[in-house]
Amino acid sequence: MGRQDDYRGELKRVSDKVTFLRTHSGLPGPRGNLELMQAAADVGDEPSYREWIAVGSGDQPTDEFVAMCGIVGLGRLAAEGRVDLVDELHAHAPDPRWRVREAVAMALQRVGDADTDLLFRIVRGWTGDRAYVQRAAIAAVSEPRLLKTREASHAAVDVIDQVTANLEGMPVRRTDEFRTLRQALAYCWSVVVASDPTYGLPRMERWVGSSDPDVRWLLRENLKKARLEKLDPAWVGRLRDQLL
Contact 37, 69 (CB under 8 A): yes
pLDDT of residue 164: 99
Percent with pLDDT over 70 in the chain: 100
The answer on pLDDT for 1 being more than 60 is no
187 touches 225 (CB < 8 A): yes
Condensed to tens digits (0 to 9), the pLDDT of residues 69-100 reads: 999 999 999 999 999 999 999 999 999 999 99
pLDDT reported for residue 35 = 97
pLDDT digits (tens, 9 = 90+) for 3-27: 999 999 999 999 999 999 999 999 9
Q: How far apart are CA 31 and CA 29, in angstroms?
A: 6
Q: How far apart are CA 88 and CA 220, in angstroms?
A: 35
Return d(Cα 221, Cα 214) in angstroms, integer: 11
User: What is the average pLDDT across 94-118?
Assistant: 98
User: What confidence score (pLDDT) does residue 2 get?
Assistant: 86
Q: What is the mean pLDDT of residues 53-58?
A: 93
Distance CA(11)–CA(28), nearest Å, equals 21
Q: What is the pTM of this model?
A: 0.95
In this prediction, residues 210-235 reach a mean pLDDT of 97
Distance CA(230)–CA(193), nearest Å, equals 12
pLDDT at 65: 97
Q: What is the DSSP string of 143-159?
A: -GGG--SHHHHHHHHHH
The pLDDT mean for the chain works out to: 97
Write the pLDDT tens digit of every residue in 136-168. 999 999 999 999 999 999 999 999 999 999 999
Calpha distance 191→142 (Å, rounded): 6
